[in-house]
Structure 1
């Protein structure tokens, strides 16, 4: 079996209301999905995170020629050859391009054997993963947190047992928001706050102190991802776990952060860090430091399903929550691209079922993407 075609689909959809986090206000969402097809009629899907147009250009210019005509079963060799080709840009769009291809190759290789990606990676240790609601999101002024109480009630009605609101507006306002949510949901619901790189270390430390009564599981990305000294200061001062890593594109980047004593919880994104292959390298590093690791997920159904497969094989870690880590992130922003294969439903215990069918468990056809396609391209033999 050999690869005969790589197709790229740039997708976009508008939001009815501007919303976002401490770093960005979203008025629309963009994505790049790639479909890799073989001469036997199989298709695998991958996703590039955050820089879709640049990643697509890199695939066409540099990576497509490395895998066309080759077997998808040799995904490990392809990962090495792609990483060897990227030159100076080892943490940006080039790694996102590699991520998309690696995710699709694993999907294809598992389908070739008639097994799930989790089985391809050695076998699932769980068939359900604890899910947390990723939201609510910040609104425009005058009251950025005005919808939080209503939306969290909605999440609880959908069986979520943990929520991750966005913070980072102002330290004292963060404390009011988080402490109000704790009173609203009671002691048994997990709360984590994502600051999305919005603060200096001093401001993040102040915010953490104002939020102490909320009994948070973690504070995520309190400072800029390049600010290792800021992470060190925060980790030493805050009385809560520090999570991060979604913006880091390689195992070497995670090595630097862990050597500096920053993260308590690692959150690589498969669509950014090198797909399954890159994530597994970072997982080995997490094991060496005895730290929990879980996928960051903020994209389409492709990354979501890949993250479920990855979460199924990770070793459990007790982090003080109502369930063992890993958790899987469930984007609660309006996102039709997350529901390409239907709306994933959470069980009454707050769990998501891991698909056990061939590949990543995502039966996707290009025609389903048509309402959101802004551009498409193809590279073939």
Structure 2
């Protein structure tokens, strides 16, 4: 069906209308690398890097592209192994992020060339729709960081979300009050989780977890930095709420060490960090050995969201305490224009997103549609 003939990178970004606050600080600029891979027959696939887009682009342009150009996208597994072999000393960082975008795009190309979805390419979807959770609200600047939460939560409920993940970490007392207020607002049937975004100490995270427990949270996410494995153990040992994390981890070895703590109840690999479809599948297998649910973390553009939706459709169902079984898929509700280039995510009456019927990752994107947000583009050809 044609070898890979071109790799094009599009650096896209924007400044949020209102800075997005979490326990680690305020996000005032969001930048991504969207990778466009083209085969000789004209088929195009898309991949994404969110964490280190400029560094990943340099690696692709000046090294990794040579392992991809002239190759058959259907051999994505062999290509992924070749990319891993080029990591050198960078076993857990930018190299795996660059490989993630390539792997996502190659899967997209290979599935489109066959007229099937990526889920079908990888063996067949286990479900036709996936529960979605609203990733928000975010803190605001000023004396009351949680001031806008009631308004935002009402908006999410009107859109049909049945699971919501606000940011937390102002102080244990404020966090406890916030969680209690949200539970009163949404009632008993909406799932609530909170995300500390690695912005508090393990001790503060534990204090907050104990104060938030009456709100019946599904999980607290990243109560401390992922390198603080003893901190994760300490929080989990006495927290009445399950712990989630893993979005910042890249290598399989890093996930192995994370799971060996025994502290994690929900594992959240990000496909743009952990190796795309190929890397996520390996992490999911590792999680299965520990009898833990894996679900995609995604807080980027429509590319990673659609890839994560395909991946979520491949994962076995796990009961985690909510009315709906895991996996969930995370939905950026912060007003991200790169999430809504092709329109808002549509939920059904039960708060679920349907798996797209189209081939590949299920969306049709042209580079010119990204023009308002492109800061730089480049290409490498065979």
The answer to whether the superposition gives a TM-score over 0.5 is yes
Matched, 1:259 2:264: no
Please name the residue that 1:72 is paired with.
73
Please name the residue that 1:238 is paired with.
239
Please name the residue that 1:134 is paired with.
135
| 2:45 partner SS | strand
19-28 vs 78-87, which moves further: 19-28
Between the aligned partners of 1:360 and 1:17, the Cα distance in structure 2 is 30
1:113 deviation in Å? 1.3
1:19 deviation in Å? 2.0
Render the CA deviation track for 1:335-364: whole Å, top value 9, x for unaligned.
Answer: 010012221111111000011221001101
Between the aligned partners of 1:260 and 1:52, the Cα distance in structure 2 is 30
Matched, 1:195 2:196: yes
Between the aligned partners of 1:15 and 1:314, the Cα distance in structure 2 is 33
1:24 deviation in Å? 3.1
1:97 deviation in Å? 0.5
Between the aligned partners of 1:24 and 1:126, the Cα distance in structure 2 is 37
Please name the residue that 2:274 is paired with.
273
Q: Which runs of structure 1 show a deviation greater than 2 angstroms over 4 or more consecutive aligned residues?
A: none
**Matches of residues 1-381 of structure 1 in structure 2 within 5 Å?**
1-381=2-382
1:20 deviation in Å? 2.3
Between the aligned partners of 1:315 and 1:259, the Cα distance in structure 2 is 22
1:141 deviation in Å? 2.3
Structure 2: where are the runs of 5+ without partners? none
**TM score, norm. by length of structure 2:** 0.99
Structure 1: where are the runs of 5+ without partners? none
| 1:205 partner SS | helix
Contact residue 9 and residue 33 of structure 2 kept, 8 A: yes
| 1:257 partner SS | helix
Between the aligned partners of 1:262 and 1:276, the Cα distance in structure 2 is 25
| 2:282 partner SS | helix
**TM score, norm. by length of structure 1:** 0.99
User: What CA RMSD, in Å, does the superposition of the two structures yield over aligned residues?
Assistant: 0.8
Between the aligned partners of 1:175 and 1:80, the Cα distance in structure 2 is 46
Contact residue 31 and residue 50 of structure 2 kept, 8 A: no
1:189 deviation in Å? 0.6
| 1:307 partner SS | helix
Render the CA deviation track for 1:141-164: whole Å, top value 9, x for unaligned.
Answer: 211100001100110011100100
- The aligned length equals 381
| 2:29 partner SS | strand
Render the CA deviation track for 1:112-163: whole Å, top value 9, x for unaligned.
Answer: 2111000011000100000011100011121110000110011001110010
Render the CA deviation track for 1:261-313: whole Å, top value 9, x for unaligned.
Answer: 12110000000000000000000011101111100010000000000000001
Contact residue 218 and residue 241 of structure 2 kept, 8 A: yes
| 1:17 partner SS | coil
